[in-house]
């Protein structure tokens, strides 16, 4: 994927591990769908179901392959 200067800095970890990790996940999704680059976003509204996103599972993301694997399930 083509990255902007800001995105390259994030990927290099210059803005911290959480942002680097998030960018790698977005890149994996982009590769899966064949995206060439990111679309600029000026504003967003997010809603999420806490039960769906707060699993506590330990995940491994392979950005090159575009895959996510569950390494360890959270205790129920």
pLDDT digits (tens, 9 = 90+) for 52-69: 555 666 777 776 776 777
Domain count for the chain, please give it.
Answer: 1
The SS3 of residue 43 is coil
Spatial distance between the Cα atoms of 31 and 10, rounded to a whole number of angstroms: 18
Structural domain of 53: 5-72
**Who has greater pLDDT, 16 or 45?**
16
Spatial distance between the Cα atoms of 9 and 44, rounded to a whole number of angstroms: 22
pLDDT at 8: 96
Kindly tell me if the per-residue pLDDT of 12 is higher than 60.
yes
> Cβ distance 69 to 59 under 8 Å?
yes
* 1, two tokens: 């994927």
């Amino acid at each position: 994927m083509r990255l902007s200067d800001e995105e390259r800095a994030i990927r290099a970890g210059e803005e911290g591990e959480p942002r680097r990790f998030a960018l790698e996940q977005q890149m994996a999704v982009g590769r899966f769908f064949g995206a060439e680059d990111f679309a600029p976003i000026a504003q967003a509204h997010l809603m999420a179901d806490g039960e769906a996103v707060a699993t506590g599972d330990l995940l491994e993301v392979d950005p090159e392959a575009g895959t996510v694997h569950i390494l360890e399930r959270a205790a129920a």
